[in-house]
Chains A and B, each alone.
Chain A
Amino acid sequence: MSPAMTPARSRYDAVMIGGGHNGLVAAAMLGKAGKSVLLLEGSDAIGGMAASREFHPGFRTAIPHLLYQLHPAVSRALRLHRHGLRLAAADLPTIAFRQEGGTLALGDSRGAGDAGADLLAFRQRLARFARALAPALARTPPRLRTRDLESLATLGRLALGVRWLGREEMRELLRVIGMNVADLVEENFADPTIKAAIALDAVIGNAMGPRSPNTVYTLLYRLAGKTGHRAGAIALPKGSMAAVAEAMAAAARAAGVEILTGTSAARILVKDGRSAGVVLPDGGEIASDLVLSSADPRRTFLEILGPAALDTNFVRRARSWRDRGTTGKLHLALNGLPAALAGAPARYLLPGTLATLERAFDSLKYGDLPERPPIEIAIPSLADPSAAPAGKHLLSAIVQYVPYRLAEGDWSNRRTGFVETLLGTLEAHIPGLRAQILAQEFLTPADIERMTGASGGHWHHGEIALDQVWMLRPQPGMARYATPVPGLYLCGAGAHPGGGITGLAGYNAARQAIADGRTKERSRP
């Protein structure tokens, strides 16, 4: 057992709850601003969802597997490259397995593979829209004087502000942004696999089907990310997503942040109505005027802070925050690679068709398991030797539409059956896969919740739905990261702009907290 670690001091300028990637980014930013920072991570490793996971000896991965949203401002501010972040692949092509058999190459960020010019033009157009949104995602949303309707109107106003889109394009953005992705792809494509592949990118991580409203927004949210400076590029970090978190941790340590793993914040201290620090599980108190939480909103407000410090309607909204996860993760340790996967490193999709996607979403809605689960696959070991022992391979798959809770039975008696469905589905497209399997694990949203502490095991700590984004995220009037309790900030995926490995929530929140501190300083008599 490792020796019990205790904080070096009893008072800090800031305490960070949670060492997921957003917590690490925020802590580093605060450290760089000259603040003494203590970061408390409840589990034994940093990274949160992006923590390293050796599910079979020599096979290393993390829950998130592909990097496409890490914001350049974050990489720059934290000098992640200097702190060791390297990409094993910078611009993976996407290849879709067709429902009826065969594959379709969909290209990388610069081309459209076999899908043709239409897909390229479509992507470029969406990329322009995403660019129009990107600056706002990278910033703290505007303050609103009145709430309700104005908040939604601001979405529109924001687009208006982005003049360079031009009248025509602006009108088109306003037309499509509230649409569902199925209608959008039906307008543009005939090929069922292209349609489904785009739709899968739009719905993944959320409890939404291709025909759910708001799914064009989620697609744009995803596309607004960049890796390096290439919009739309999908990268594979060297050393899995854990290496991204480790680079962030190195940046934080270099900025003087004290990182304590295996120590959770049991409670947030509130004194005279302000956050005053945290209480450790052993009852010890760490004093700090500034407390940031990168834990999800439900855990932060209802457990760590607790309802007693909050108002009734706030608690009502925190309780009805939608954060039930919808994605599972399948890890396979492979003895060797079947031919279908043995090409250059790629991202593989099993998107099915719009109809099978919608059906699979229906299953989720009713707490049932999908017959045709949509899947995204990466083989990190093809580009990154550290992912698996020499000659062996690691298959990492995200499975969409996995219910957090089952309407009938529970995961203990239905897991084996569902894994069988998954392996059967994979085998149908990738013959010989099963014969190569050395070990496997399947993580349900409930498992992910247990492992990472994220309520519901939700990808974004809460749905990216129009009523849960921007100035409404995670609650109306709370978009500027400050919670109702002065001195307490929320800085994880549950804050604006949302989840994915972006670093933005942490980056924005830290800057906001620093700015608020200066304002307070100035207004002091």
Chain B
Amino acid sequence: MKNDVNLLPTPFTELLRPHNLAHSWERWEGKLSVGVYDNDVREYFAIRNAVSLYDTSPITQYRITGRDTARFLDRLMARDMTKCRVGQAVYACWCDDAGKVVEDGTVFRLGDGDYLINVQEHNLAWFEDTAYGFEVSIEDVTEDYCSLALQGPLSRRLLEEIGLSGIADLKFFRLAQTELEGIPLLVARTGFTGDLGYELYLAPRDAERLWNLLWAAPIAVRLVPIGSHALNYARIEAGFLQVNTDFIGAEHCLRPSQRRSPFELGFDWLVDLKKPGYFVGRRALEREKAAGGPRRRLVGLDIEGNKPAVDSFLYAGNKEVGRVTSAFWSPICKRNIALATVEAGHDALGTELRADIWTTKELKIERSMRSARVVPRPFYDPPHKKS
């Protein structure tokens, strides 16, 4: 991107720049982010076989404190937040009045009445208005932190080598507030890759020191900075949804019909209709359930051949029943995979659909109808992710 002058650097931008051979800068909530450093496939394989480094500093972060924090979060989120203990991270989604997903994100419980919400887009207005009548303070702390995602099977070794002792004991979706050579660090065993991995949050002034520690580790020979493209491949394999790609947040959707309920997105496990209190969208979700469930479903597809079914329409017989939102030929699964939204009734595992795939070769467009089978997500779920 030429006119990157308007985008703000993160505390890591200058450190990343020498690696960014492709000069492929992208926009992420007004900050500079890297698309591809050199070769997206190499970067992807670092996630799956070595250790990858992704600058997640632009992630929007809200710190929630105050007397009613727990009650507020339980009102905001569709899942039972009262079960989230100190030192725990929770993946959650929040809905609007109509029970449509506004966004999803991770919630870190740092202490009693002290939480951090990490989310792709700005949500301050939604959070504040949902907190009306509650004694909570919601602060955008995006600038107070910078962060790196270190993901891949060698990520634990890297952290051990830089001296983060006890990292082996940190369980999946748990947090550690620690210090490394005087650098206060928040380590979360979370990530967007579906692999073993960690996210490190720290003050911007400590960015360079942490960077140097990382690159000084012996295993750093296997450390590869990755861009958003490689990350996108990994998250498709992991079956994670990307806002604005696989769904549009309810508050940004211009067409009401394009809003999605958590059930439609397969977020059923993020909705707890048995929890005692009211949460935003609950009545609408109960109605949706009572009316026979979602009218469409987000599914995983395994598609014949090796051409990624990007944006493909899906057919059952001659009837168009859905569309692919993310597609990628997965080297590690050796499968042509996709995430798609299909009408209810075509979402059962094993359902055979057909994908209309268009590919361009030397200005020639080729079109092929390939069979597409509904399969479970995630496509890739290695045991070391949680071990």
What residues of chain A have their CB less than 8 Å away from a CB belonging to chain B? 270, 273, 302, 306-316, 319, 484
Establish whether residues B97 and A314, one from each chain, have CB atoms under 8 Å apart when the complex forms: yes
> Whole-angstrom distance from the CB of B129 to the nearest CB of chain A?
5
Q: Does B371 contact A (CB under 8 A)?
A: no
Q: How far is the CA of A270 from the CA of B276 in the complex (A)?
A: 11
Establish whether residues A270 and B278, one from each chain, have CB atoms under 8 Å apart when the complex forms: yes
CB contacts under 8 Å to A, within B180-238, are: none
> Whole-angstrom distance from the CB of B253 to the nearest CB of chain A?
13
| Interface hub of A306, A311, A484 (most chain B Cβ within 10 A) | A311
Cβ contacts A to B, 27 pairs, < 8 Å: A273-B283, A273-B286, A302-B133, A307-B134, A308-B71, A308-B75, A308-B277, A308-B278, A309-B278, A310-B278, A311-B97, A311-B280, A311-B281, A311-B283, A312-B96, A312-B97, A312-B126, A312-B129, A312-B280, A313-B96, A313-B97, A315-B129, A315-B130, A315-B133, A316-B129, A319-B132, A484-B283
Q: How far is the CA of A312 from the CA of B71 in the complex (A)?
A: 15
Q: How far is the CA of A319 from the CA of B126 in the complex (A)?
A: 14
Which chain A positions have C-beta within 8 A of B130? Answer: 312, 315
Q: Does B174 contact A (CB under 8 A)?
A: no
Sample of 7 more A-B contacts, CB < 8 Å, known A307-B134, A313-B97: A273-B283, A308-B277, A308-B278, A311-B96, A314-B97, A315-B130, A484-B283
CB contacts under 8 Å to A, within B257-307, are: 277-278, 280-284, 286
Chain A minimum-CB-distance residue to B94: A312
Q: How far is the CA of A310 from the CA of B133 in the complex (A)?
A: 11
Which chain A positions have C-beta within 8 A of B284? Answer: 311
Q: How far is the CA of A474 from the CA of B277 in the complex (A)?
A: 25
Q: How far is the CA of A213 from the CA of B97 in the complex (A)?
A: 30
Q: How far is the CA of A311 from the CA of B129 in the complex (A)?
A: 10
Which chain A positions have C-beta within 8 A of B278? Answer: 270, 273, 308-310
Q: How far is the CA of A308 from the CA of B68 in the complex (A)?
A: 11
The verdict on A315 contacting B132 (CB below 8 Å), with A270-B278, A308-B277, A309-B278 known, is: yes
Which chain A positions have C-beta within 8 A of B133? Answer: 302, 306-308, 315
> Whole-angstrom distance from the CB of B152 to the nearest CB of chain A?
39
Q: How far is the CA of A307 from the CA of B134 in the complex (A)?
A: 9
> Whole-angstrom distance from the CB of A512 to the nearest CB of chain B?
19
Q: How far is the CA of A42 from the CA of B71 in the complex (A)?
A: 30
Q: How large is the interface on B (under 10, 10 to 19, 20 to 34, 35 or more residues)?
A: 10 to 19
What residues of chain B have their CB less than 8 Å away from a CB belonging to chain A? 71, 75, 96-97, 126, 129-130, 132-134, 277-278, 280-284, 286
Q: How far is the CA of A310 from the CA of B279 in the complex (A)?
A: 8
> Whole-angstrom distance from the CB of B15 to the nearest CB of chain A?
40
Which chain B positions have C-beta within 8 A of A307? Answer: 132-134
Q: How far is the CA of A302 from the CA of B97 in the complex (A)?
A: 16
10 A-B pairs with the lowest CB-CB distances in the bound complex, closest first: A311-B97, A307-B133, A312-B130, A313-B97, A311-B280, A312-B280, A307-B132, A309-B278, A312-B129, A316-B129
> Whole-angstrom distance from the CB of A316 to the nearest CB of chain B?
5
Which chain A positions have C-beta within 8 A of B277? Answer: 308
> Whole-angstrom distance from the CB of B61 to the nearest CB of chain A?
20
| Interface hub of B71, B277, B278, B286 (most chain A Cβ within 10 A) | B278
> Whole-angstrom distance from the CB of A307 to the nearest CB of chain B?
4
Which chain A positions have C-beta within 8 A of B132? Answer: 302, 307, 315, 319
> Whole-angstrom distance from the CB of A302 to the nearest CB of chain B?
7
Which chain B positions have C-beta within 8 A of A308? Answer: 71, 75, 133-134, 277-278
A-B contact number at CB 8 A: 41
Chain B minimum-CB-distance residue to A312: B130
> Whole-angstrom distance from the CB of A152 to the nearest CB of chain B?
17
Q: How far is the CA of A315 from the CA of B277 in the complex (A)?
A: 17
> Whole-angstrom distance from the CB of B293 to the nearest CB of chain A?
19
> Whole-angstrom distance from the CB of A61 to the nearest CB of chain B?
37
Q: How far is the CA of A273 from the CA of B287 in the complex (A)?
A: 12
Which chain A positions have C-beta within 8 A of B75? Answer: 308
Which chain B positions have C-beta within 8 A of A270? Answer: 278
Q: How far is the CA of A172 from the CA of B129 in the complex (A)?
A: 43
> Whole-angstrom distance from the CB of B204 to the nearest CB of chain A?
32
> Whole-angstrom distance from the CB of A270 to the nearest CB of chain B?
7
Chain A minimum-CB-distance residue to B130: A312
> Whole-angstrom distance from the CB of B124 to the nearest CB of chain A?
13
> Whole-angstrom distance from the CB of A485 to the nearest CB of chain B?
8
Which chain A positions have C-beta within 8 A of B71? Answer: 308
Chain A minimum-CB-distance residue to B284: A311
Chain B minimum-CB-distance residue to A317: B97
> Whole-angstrom distance from the CB of B160 to the nearest CB of chain A?
44
Q: How far is the CA of A484 from the CA of B280 in the complex (A)?
A: 12
Q: How far is the CA of A312 from the CA of B281 in the complex (A)?
A: 9
Q: How far is the CA of A312 from the CA of B128 in the complex (A)?
A: 9
Q: How far is the CA of A319 from the CA of B277 in the complex (A)?
A: 22
| Interface hub of B97, B134, B286 (most chain A Cβ within 10 A) | B97
> Whole-angstrom distance from the CB of B345 to the nearest CB of chain A?
23
Q: How far is the CA of A319 from the CA of B132 in the complex (A)?
A: 10
> Whole-angstrom distance from the CB of B197 to the nearest CB of chain A?
33
> Whole-angstrom distance from the CB of A374 to the nearest CB of chain B?
36
Which chain B positions have C-beta within 8 A of A273? Answer: 278, 282-283, 286
| Interface hub of A306, A308, A309, A484 (most chain B Cβ within 10 A) | A308
Q: How far is the CA of A273 from the CA of B280 in the complex (A)?
A: 12
Chain B minimum-CB-distance residue to A477: B97
| Interface hub of B130, B132, B282 (most chain A Cβ within 10 A) | B132
Q: How far is the CA of A417 from the CA of B266 in the complex (A)?
A: 66
Q: How far is the CA of A315 from the CA of B97 in the complex (A)?
A: 10
> Whole-angstrom distance from the CB of A37 to the nearest CB of chain B?
26
Q: How far is the CA of A273 from the CA of B281 in the complex (A)?
A: 12
Which chain A positions have C-beta within 8 A of B282? Answer: 273
Q: How far is the CA of A311 from the CA of B287 in the complex (A)?
A: 14
Which chain B positions have C-beta within 8 A of A319? Answer: 132
Q: How far is the CA of A306 from the CA of B133 in the complex (A)?
A: 8
> Whole-angstrom distance from the CB of A275 to the nearest CB of chain B?
12
Q: How far is the CA of A349 from the CA of B283 in the complex (A)?
A: 50
Chain A minimum-CB-distance residue to B286: A273
Q: How far is the CA of A312 from the CA of B96 in the complex (A)?
A: 7
Which chain A positions have C-beta within 8 A of B280? Answer: 311-312
Which chain A positions have C-beta within 8 A of B97? Answer: 311-314
Chain B minimum-CB-distance residue to A311: B97
> Whole-angstrom distance from the CB of A410 to the nearest CB of chain B?
26
Which chain A positions have C-beta within 8 A of B281? Answer: 311
> Whole-angstrom distance from the CB of B386 to the nearest CB of chain A?
34
Q: How far is the CA of A270 from the CA of B282 in the complex (A)?
A: 14
> Whole-angstrom distance from the CB of A422 to the nearest CB of chain B?
38
Chain B minimum-CB-distance residue to A148: B256
Which chain A positions have C-beta within 8 A of B96? Answer: 311-313
Which chain B positions have C-beta within 8 A of A484? Answer: 283
Which chain B positions have C-beta within 8 A of A310? Answer: 278
Q: How far is the CA of A308 from the CA of B280 in the complex (A)?
A: 9
Chain A minimum-CB-distance residue to B279: A311
Which chain B positions have C-beta within 8 A of A306? Answer: 133
Q: How far is the CA of A120 from the CA of B281 in the complex (A)?
A: 53
Q: How far is the CA of A273 from the CA of B273 in the complex (A)?
A: 11
Q: How far is the CA of A273 from the CA of B286 in the complex (A)?
A: 10
Q: How far is the CA of A273 from the CA of B134 in the complex (A)?
A: 19
Q: How far is the CA of A499 from the CA of B129 in the complex (A)?
A: 29
Chain B minimum-CB-distance residue to A485: B283
Q: How far is the CA of A310 from the CA of B130 in the complex (A)?
A: 9
Q: How far is the CA of A214 from the CA of B96 in the complex (A)?
A: 31
Chain A minimum-CB-distance residue to B281: A311
Q: How far is the CA of A456 from the CA of B139 in the complex (A)?
A: 31
Which chain B positions have C-beta within 8 A of A302? Answer: 132-133
Which chain B positions have C-beta within 8 A of A315? Answer: 129-130, 132-133
Q: How far is the CA of A309 from the CA of B283 in the complex (A)?
A: 10
Chain A minimum-CB-distance residue to B256: A146
Q: How far is the CA of A309 from the CA of B130 in the complex (A)?
A: 11
> Whole-angstrom distance from the CB of B37 to the nearest CB of chain A?
40
Q: How far is the CA of A316 from the CA of B283 in the complex (A)?
A: 17
